[in-house]
Every structure is written in structure tokens, then in C-alpha cells.
Amino acid sequence: MIEQSPKTTGSRRREQTRAADEARLRQQAIGVRLRQLFDEVVNEPVPDDFLEILRRADDSSKGGAR
Amino acid sequence: MSERRELTKQEEAIFKKELVQLIPHLRAFARTLAGDAAAADDLAQDAMMKAWDARGSFQLGTNMKAWTFMILRNQFYSEKRRSWRQTQLDQEAAERTLLAVDDPEAPIVLDEMRLALHQLPAEQREALILVGAGGFAYEEAADICGCAVGTVKSRVSRARRALQSILTDGSYERDGAPAGDAMRSILDHAERLSGVR
């Protein structure tokens, strides 16, 4: 069976392997890009008002609660 | 489960420190949900304050990142339900912002990626972001989204396939021109960045 068309089978397998490699490469590249997109925001300096709001809430819970 | 208790001063300090460290991640996640940067920061601030107010029901030592992401996500969807019309307008504003790119090289590719991401159904996009960029395990992402682990897995794989085809075939248009080269430049960029093979 296999000997009937070794060349065709072999080249088809190579073709499939190549396609799978290509797909994997693309997915890896997409992954890199996706993380970069996310990390770009993570690495931005946090705007002051975040910490300011939290500090105010903390103060009022300390002062107000008891 | 939802037992609330008063935190000691020390516990409160630990909680606050961890919460502050999570702010950049909350901002990044909010940006992927809301698109528009200003709306995203509002969302992240609301989520941060909700988390702070609910500190008594957080189990210290468990995954605070997943917990805050869940709060942020719930906040986003409850606001969206309240004002879907507003959300639609925000979306248009976001798209205008995304198209306004000054730097001629790498940011354009990022931009293609953002546009492609926003073409995905919301539940696929968030699953992919959580697992592919947020560093969450499938189980954690399932907790955050309130769905089964298998559902997250299938959403992530469908999202990956869809992204690849959008970026490869340019199934979306930009200024009338198909963005067919997006995948090519993303591949080139990945190679330059880290020698991915």
C-alpha cells in the first residue's frame, strides 16, 4: 500500500508538516503580539488619580469607621 | 463563601499593597473590554474601589488578581446592560482613536491587532486576553468569566483561529484597503523581537 506511491505520500506529509509549522509560527507570533498589546498598558505609569482615590477611601474608612 | 469580616490593620495594609500592584493589570484588562482609554480607566477605577469596599469578603492568600478581574468584568457588563447605547457610542469613539496613529511603523501593526481583536465576539476576545496575555490558567479564566473550563478552552481556540484568518486574509477593511499584510508584519515583528521560530 505505502509502496504504491511513496513519493506522493512523502511529499504530502512534508506539505502537511510545513503547513503545521507555519500555523504554529503564526500562532506564536499572534501570542507575542497579544502579550505586547497588553503589557504596553501594564507598563504605562499609573495615573495619579488611582492612588489618590484609594488614599481618600482609606482615610475615610480609618476616620469614619471608628 | 461570601463571609465578610473586619480586616486587621495589618491585613488591610497587605490588601492595599496588593491592590495597588494590580492597578496596571486592571487598566490593561479594562482597555481590552472598553476600547476607549478614558472609559477604560473609569472602569478600572470603579473596579478598584469595588474591590477595596469588598476587602472584607476577600480570602487573603487566594488569587487576588483573578478576584479583581472578575469584579472588573462584572462591573463592565452591568454598566453595559444599563446603557448599551452609550457603549455603542464608546465603541465608535474607540475605533476613531484606534485609527489615529502617528508613528508609521510598529504601532500600525499593533493597531491591526487591536482592530482584529475587536472583530472577535466579546466572549472569545476576553477568553483569549485572559489566557493569552493576562497569564491566567484556563481554570482561573473560567472562574473570572463564570463559565465552564471547556467553554473557555473552545473560546480561546476559536479566537486564535479567527484572529489568524482576520490577520492573514484581511477579512476586515481599513480606509477601504484590505489589511492583508497584517499577518506578515506581525510575523516579522515577532522574529525581530525574540527570534521566535
Q: Nearest CA of chain A to the CA of B27: how many Å?
A: 7
Question: Is A48 at the interface with chain B, CB within 8 A?
Answer: no
Distance between CA atoms of residues B167 and B186, nearest Å:
9
Same domain, B110 and B192: yes
Give A33's contacts in chain B (Cβ within 8 Å). 109-110, 113, 186, 189-190
Query: Does residue B93 sit in the same domain as residue B44?
Result: yes
Instruction: Annotate A1-57 with DSSP letters as a single string.
Output: -GGGSHHHHHHHHHHHHHHHHHHHHHHHHHHHHHHHHHHHHHTSPPPHHHHHHHHHH
- CB of B49 within 8 Å of a chain A CB? The answer is yes
- Give the CATH number for residue B16: 1.10.1740.10
Q: Which tens digits make up the pLDDT trace of B140-160?
A: 999 999 999 999 999 999 999
Burial classification of residue B189, based on how many CB atoms lie within 10 Å of its CB (0-12 exposed, 13-18 middle, 19 or more buried): buried
Model confidence over B57-84: pLDDT tens digits? 998 889 999 999 999 999 999 887 766 5
Task: Name every residue whose Cβ is closer than 8 Å to that of residue B67 and which is 6 or more positions away in sequence.
Answer: B51, B58
- 8 A C-beta contact, residue A3 and residue B136: no
Q: Are residues B61 and B123 in the same domain?
A: no
Using the predicted structure, report yes or no on whether residue B168 has a pLDDT greater than 60: yes
d(CA B144, CA B136): 10
Question: In terms of pLDDT, which residue wins out, A2 or B27?
Answer: B27
Q: What total of structural domains would you count in chain B?
A: 2
Nearest to A34 among B44, B133, B189 (CB): B133
Band of the pLDDT at B196, cuts 50, 70, 90?
very low
Of B43, B68, B100, the position where a domain reaches its end is B100
Domain of residue B126: give its range: 102-197
**Chain B residues lying within 8 Å of A54, measured CB to CB:** 16, 19-20, 48-49, 52
pLDDT digits (tens, 9 = 90+) for A11-53: 888 888 988 888 888 888 899 999 999 999 999 999 999 999 9
Could you say which of B32, B67, B100 is where a domain stops? B100
User: Which residue among B65, B81, B100 closes a domain?
Assistant: B100
Residues B162 and B187 both lie in one domain = yes
**Which CATH number belongs to the domain containing residue B113 in this structure?**
1.10.10.10
